Chains A and B, each alone.
Chain A
Amino acid sequence: MIVLHAAILIFVALAGTAVVLTRNPLSQVIGLTFYGLLLALMFFVFQAPDVAFSQIVVGAVALPLMVLLALAKIRNREVKQRMHHER
C-alpha cells in the first residue's frame, strides 16, 4: 500500500511539473487532461471515491473542453488578424 501511495504521489508531482513546464497551450491541455486523470486515480488510491468521481469528469472532460474551445476561438481571431495584415 505504501508503495502504491508513494508511486501515485510521485506520478502526480511529475505530471504537474510537466504541465507547468509545457509552453505550448495546446500540448499543455493534453498534459492537463492526463494530470487530471492521475489526480482522480490518486483520490481513489487514498480512499476518496466521492472526490475521484467528480475529478474524472471535471478534470478530464469539462476543464480541457473549455480550454480547448477558448483556444480554438483565439486561434481563429489570430489567423484572421494575420491575414488582414498581409493584405
Chain B
Amino acid sequence: MSFRWRKSLFVLSAAAFFAFYLWGLRGLPGLGHYPGPYGDIINAVVVSERHVTDAVTAVNFDYRGFDTLGEEFILFASVMGAMVLLRKSEDEEIDPPLDFAPDRVAPPMSDAVHLLGFLLAGPLLVFGLYTVTHGQLTPGGGFQGGVILASVPLMIYLSADYECFCRITSHTLAEVAEAAAAGGFALLGLIALLFGLPYLQNFLPLGETGNVASGGSIALISFLTGMEVAAGFVLLMMVFFSEAFVLRAIGEDKPEKKRKAR
C-alpha cells in the first residue's frame, strides 16, 4: 500500500469516526445528570440491604460479584501468562550481561531516596492493610489495597537493594497466596450453593453498619481479592526483576566469570 493510499484511507476513516463521535456526544447526558436507574437504586438500598457504607465495594463484591470473579481471573491468568513466558527453561541460553561502562562507578543512592523509601514502607503497609480491610466502610477495597501492599517491597527495593527485595519476598509464598486467594474466592461462591442460595450470594451475617466486621461476605471477598492482587503484582515484579537484574548479578559472580574465561 503506497503512502498516498494509506493517507487518504486514514483521512477518510478519521473523518467518518469524527462525525460519529460528534453525533454520539450529542446524546450524552450533561455533567452530573446521571440518567440510569441503577446507581440511584443502589444508593437508596445499599445501607439497609448490605449494611455497607461504600456502595462501590458492595457493587463490586456482592451485587456483581460474579463479574469481579471473572476480572480476578483475568489478572490471575495474565500473571500466570507472564510467568510462563518468562520461565527459565533447562536449555535456555543465558547470555551473560555486559557492563556497558566498567570504568565508571555507579553513583551511590542519594540519602533522600533511602530515607523516603524506609519512611514510606511501614506506613504504606499499614495503609494497604487498612484499605483492604475497610473497603466496606470507606473508598478502597481488595484491589486498591492489594496494589498498595504490592508497592511495599518496591519501596524496600528502591531504598535498599535487590538483595534486600529478594530477602523479604518469597516466590513460593506469593504463588501459594495468589492461588489460594483466587481459589478461595471461587470456593466462597460454592459455599453459598450449599445453603441453597445462588452462586456468590452474600450468606454471612451482615453485622452492624459502620463496623469493620460488617457486610457479610463482602469483607471476606475483599480480603481475598487484596491477597490475590498483592501476590500477583509481587510475582510479576519478581519475574521481571529476575529477567532484567539477576543476569547482571550472575555476571559479577565467580562461576560465571570462569565460564567466560574458558
Q: Which residues of A contact B (CB under 8 A)?
A: 5, 49-50, 53-54, 57-58, 61-62, 65-66, 69-70, 72-73, 76-77, 79-80, 83
Chain B positions near chain A (C-beta within 8 angstroms): 31, 54, 56-57, 95, 97-98, 100, 131, 139-141, 143-144, 147-148, 150-151, 154, 233, 236-237, 240-241, 243-244, 247
In the complex, 12 of the A-B residue pairs with CB atoms within 8 angstroms, ordered by the A residue number, are A49-B139, A50-B57, A53-B144, A57-B147, A58-B147, A62-B147, A65-B237, A69-B241, A73-B243, A76-B244, A77-B95, A79-B100
Task: Beyond the given A50-B56, A80-B95, please list 16 additional residue pairs across the A-B interface where CB-CB is below 8 A.
Answer: A5-B31, A53-B131, A53-B139, A53-B144, A54-B143, A57-B144, A57-B150, A58-B147, A61-B151, A62-B233, A62-B236, A65-B237, A69-B244, A70-B244, A72-B244, A73-B244
- Give the residues in chain B near A80, CB-CB below 8 Å: 95, 98
Please tell me if the beta carbons of B236 and A53 are within 8 angstroms of each other in the complex: no
Which residues on A sit within 8 Å (CB–CB) of B141? Answer: 50
Q: Which residue of B lies closest to A60 (CB)?
A: B151
Contacts of A5 in B (CB 8 A): 31
Whole-angstrom distance between the alpha carbons of A5 and B30 in the complex? 13
Min distance, Cβ A5 to any Cβ of chain B, angstroms: 7
Report yes or no: A53 in contact with B148, Cβ–Cβ below 8 A.
yes
